[in-house]
A and B are shown apart, each in its own frame.
Chain A
Amino acid sequence: MLDFEFKPFDEMTPEDYAKVGFKSGLEVHQQLLTEKKLFCRCPAGKYSHDYDAEILRHMRPTLSELGEYDGTALMEFKTKKNIIYRIHHDSVCTYEMDDTPPFEINDDALDIAIEIALLIDATVVDEIHIARKQYLDGSIPTGFQRTAITCVGGKIPYKDRSINLIQMSIEEDSCREISDIGHMRVYIADRLGMPLIETVTHPEMKTPQEVAEVNDILRRIARSTGKVRTGIGTGREDVNVSVDGGTRVEIKGVSKIKSIPLLTYNEAMRQWNLLRLREELKSRGIDEDSFSAEYHDVTKLLRKTRFQPINDAIAEGKIVNCVKLSGYRNLLNWQTQTDTYFSKEISDRVRVVACLTTLPNIIHSDSPSETVSSSSWSKVKKFVNAGDNDTIVLVWGDETDAETGANEVIIRAREAANGIPPETRQALSDGTNGFERILPGPERMYPDTDLPPKVLNVERIAKINSQLPKKIWDRENWYRELQLPEDIVIGLAYSDKAELFEKLVKILKVPAMLAGVALMNYPKRIKKAGLNIYALDAVVYEKVFNAYLEGRLAKDGIYYALKNIAKDGKFSMAAIPVKCTDDELERTIEEARIEVKLTEIIKPEKTEMVLFGIIMNNLRGRASGIDVKKYLNENNSEEV
């Protein structure tokens, strides 16, 4: 089974993904558009890298409700990070700093979450219980995120099937990381506490492309309410990937949907290749029990090395540990992802857990060149008693970090004999991913004792249900029946213009295509012309279309009318181009003909088109193209 080898990204087919048993699910985070944060009354959406105070905290693991420690928590504790929060008085209060208990949950945010829950056909829970989800990386000063399930189940139509949803939670956003060097991690706290929802799908996507498409649908559903934030960082996703025989691995913090296919491809490849690595180890007689490794302090053997990182480290009084991985010869060069090898898995762990963040943080005998001299390798090998079938890994740092580092090398190498460790991995810009932390389990959940449960009563849900926007797939189907072009179908269905479109078409009887183009394409063109389009609201559109329907405005004048209104910042009758009289039309055409005659046209066969262009431009929407064409056809006997 494992003889399949991953092809380059562009050559992979759905059948290939089926062969490796690709499975992926999404956790889609979407910030909600509220005035205030979720559990305090700080203003939401005030971002700045400026800060006027700093706070230092450490995190310690605590027990879960069921009396268990979470593996991730213990790992983070090993890192002994100093965590610095930068706070600004305007965007952060004593709540986010964890010096004041939470205020009651923001009801506006909760209503938006319920609205979206209803749009995805989920069951809204009867009573929400706020939980603390532990995050010991420090991204939240409390050490946990306040989060609550708002609904369970639900589904969205996709292709010829449905994608089923597990649950949606409402939660507070975390800090933004500024830097993470050595034992110091710095966060800015401006985003902290912003309300967001997390929608979790079942792992039902079968190719990387499907993951991106489903993500896009979920994003558009949320946006169709007009009550979520848009822009960079307002929607982020965690992507869960596994292959047959693999493990659920979470790629965290993906901010662009279009990067998902390559990321999931690489993760599937990584898992597949790690499974193949396990097979290789097995064939060498290495399993978790027979795995053997040890480490020794080899500082004194490398005092004269010319390899700069180790040379510097020793000069600073640091030590070098050498890990011997018995029987691992060449396996650190085992490919895992595109241009990425097993040594990266080990280096990542050392970086994250031992806080040896300056790269390279390890070197190994499988790639001996350009590091320490071959005589040094020999000396070290001899000292640790390494044979030809073994691989040795050097890791350096102060005593504690070098020890943690050596242990992590051993831990990760041993895990290879077991398969794929459940991990949270970070998305990298080249489409590969790197280790972030051990995947947390349900053990990290703890009830929030600061806030009581909250009943979501039937009346509240019914009220939201009565004002629910139409579902985007229903809208899309209708648009397709109206034969709108696909880009307008997709864009309009989740835009804040969807309801206006329906009114224009159904009540005012505006031709669908015209309404679609005027609502979706014209604002883009006007914006491109450097104008602000905030004035173009529903009322303006209705007035403009009324002028058109009453025959006061030519079809081609609609664009100019909207542009004029955008320019003026408000509607006025003067903004509506007055339809020209037949005489004016005739005169404009004659003037254009003269202009064309005086112009040297490179492609004579396009003369007609050029003429038409000049006429329409000069008319500025005062006549419709159809009328102009009609006139030209009736008078085309005349020579141009």
Chain B
Amino acid sequence: MSQNEDNTQNEDYKGYRGKALEKLREFEAKIWSDVEIATPGGNYVGFILPRSETADDLHIVVKLRTGYNIGVACRKVTDIKINGRKVANYKIPEQDFPYDKRKPRVKLFGTGGTIASRLDYRTGAVIPAFSPGELYGSVPELADYCNLETEKLYGVFSENMGPGQWKGIAEAIAKEIEKGVQGVIIGHGTDTMHHTSAILSFMLQNTPVPIVMVGSQRSSDRPSSDAALNLIHSVKTAADSDIAEVLVCMFGPTSDQYGLLHRGTRVRKMHSSYRSTFRTIGDIPIAMVDRNTVTPIRNDYKHRRNDKDFILKPYFEDMVGIVYYYPNMQPDIINSMIDNGYKGIVIAGTGLGHVNKPLYPALKRARDEGIAVYMTVQTLWGYVQMYVYETGREMMGLGVVPAANMLPEVAYVKLGWALGQTSDLDKVKDIMLTPVAGEITEREPSNGYLIYQGGIPEVEEFISKYKK
């Protein structure tokens, strides 16, 4: 069988294998066939659907006339009568995005993620889908704000994003700014959105226009998805706002009310599934955004400009890692990184930035072999302060550099970016400790740390007054 034929066969019986596949082949019942399946327990009438590859090989999936799906054990199937075939065409109606010469030009880059997604029968899960016309077809409100152009850069889940994509995105944005775009949006999976927002803040400095990252926590194939509103908010921000920075634009509350614009270097995904998962850490967000207005809640942001004097530095050293310290950690963790040629290590230490003594020899070895080691805190909130305790001073003696209040993930991408530019550790240190885009702040305002404790009367009273 040629490769081609094999593929066709796979498509015809998508997801099926083993006994279930045998049974379908026996009756030549391809997926999407309109069938009547006979079993001793009764007959089933409906369409044969593809099967998830991760499911077992003993059942055939049938979409009944009522729209429900069930799995029929293939061992029970005595006959399959085929009455027709209708291949499903899961496609959001595409429409040309309308052009209005009075509206600003905004570019939307797609990289994947749940902002636009569709069903994947191979795995049974949702996979990213991205097409400009689809976006307009499903969120026509976008045309009220701008002339939207879209370009698919990548189609990957956010956990699969990496330095290659980061550089690619930075370069693509740079090109658009050169062309005079009014704002840029990057559709991105939410899991590593804050890594990308941080690295873009370093790679693309002094942007004259908003660079807005957006995603969704509920895929757009759900009626209650946050995708549409997040998109609307991001388009509003990119088209109209005065904030020329790399921003993350995601839900403020879980309600469909407003989004928050977080500075790209201070934001973090804080809940595995909540809509309002993104939070600015150790500071407050830059602005609130709804369908009609962008409302800044601080005034130290960079303003929109008409020039194109941005700086593009698309560099990254891959051999950088992050180590999350835990009690009883052994030096072999650090040693193996050294053995494997790592050039930079970010440690997320306990408390003010500590690790245990057994690690010291490994840290010393790292210093001696010219590896940059930086300390951040796994508490996320607060500064590294290595003078308070002796441990800290000892570690600094071993070459560990405190990274102030840089978030661990931010320190990681910044170290990769710094080492991508120079291997001179003094220069690296200069780069690391000189704030580029708010990744290190001079002060933590008292409202920069607000994790309300549920159950306490005053908190409950507050929550009950506002929509969550």
- Chain A positions near chain B (C-beta within 8 angstroms): 51-67, 73, 84, 89, 94, 97-101, 123, 125-129, 131-134, 136, 141-144, 147-149, 152-153, 166-167, 169, 200, 441-447, 449, 452-453, 455
Contacts of A445 in B (CB 8 A): 63, 66-69
> Which residues of chain B from 449 to 468 have any CB-CB distance to chain A below 8 Å in the complex?
454, 460, 463-464, 466-468
| B274 lies within 8 A of A99 (CB) | yes
> Which residues of chain B from 72 to 92 have any CB-CB distance to chain A below 8 Å in the complex?
72-73, 76, 86, 88-92
Contacts of B138 in A (CB 8 A): 60, 62
Interface residue? B71 (CB, 8 A)? yes
Interface residue? B298 (CB, 8 A)? no
| B69 lies within 8 A of A447 (CB) | yes
Contacts of B271 in A (CB 8 A): 99
| A129 lies within 8 A of B223 (CB) | no
Chain A nearest CB, measured from B255 CB (Å): 4
Q: List 27 A-B contacts (CB under 8 A).
A: A54-B464, A58-B256, A60-B225, A63-B221, A64-B67, A65-B88, A66-B88, A67-B89, A94-B273, A123-B41, A125-B70, A126-B70, A129-B68, A129-B69, A129-B70, A129-B71, A141-B224, A142-B223, A142-B224, A144-B222, A147-B68, A152-B44, A152-B70, A153-B41, A200-B66, A449-B124, A453-B71
| A442 lies within 8 A of B66 (CB) | yes
Contacts of A60 in B (CB 8 A): 138, 223, 225, 228
A54-B467, A125-B70, A129-B70 given; A97·B254 CB < 8 A: yes
Contacts of B221 in A (CB 8 A): 62-63, 446, 449
Of B53-61, B395-403, B405-413, the stretch lying at the interface with chain A is: B53-61
Contacts of B354 in A (CB 8 A): none
**From A126, A134, A152, A447, contact of B76 by CB (8 A):** A126
| A58 lies within 8 A of B229 (CB) | yes
Q: Which residue of chain A is the closest to B54 with respect to CB atoms?
A: A452
Contacts of A62 in B (CB 8 A): 138, 220-223, 225
Contacts of A64 in B (CB 8 A): 67
> Which residues of chain B from 125 to 182 have any CB-CB distance to chain A below 8 Å in the complex?
125-126, 138
A129-B61, A455-B59 given; A53·B463 CB < 8 A: yes
Distance A169 CA – B68 CA, assembled complex (angstroms): 9
| B70 lies within 8 A of A123 (CB) | no
**From A100, A166, A444, contact of B67 by CB (8 A):** A444
| B73 lies within 8 A of A127 (CB) | yes
Chain A nearest CB, measured from B23 CB (Å): 13
| B55 lies within 8 A of A453 (CB) | yes
Distance A136 CA – B224 CA, assembled complex (angstroms): 9
Contacts of A142 in B (CB 8 A): 222-224
| B256 lies within 8 A of A56 (CB) | yes
Distance A56 CA – B229 CA, assembled complex (angstroms): 13
Chain B nearest CB, measured from A142 CB (Å): 5
Interface residue? B436 (CB, 8 A)? no
| A101 lies within 8 A of B273 (CB) | yes
Contacts of B275 in A (CB 8 A): 99
Distance A143 CA – B227 CA, assembled complex (angstroms): 14
A98-B218, A153-B42, A166-B66 given; A56·B257 CB < 8 A: yes
Q: Which residue of chain B is the closest to A136 with respect to CB atoms?
A: B223
**From A61, A65, A125, A149, contact of B223 by CB (8 A):** A61
> Which residues of chain B from 188 to 245 have any CB-CB distance to chain A below 8 Å in the complex?
217-225, 228-229
A67-B89, A125-B71 given; A447·B119 CB < 8 A: yes
Distance A127 CA – B65 CA, assembled complex (angstroms): 17
| B90 lies within 8 A of A66 (CB) | yes
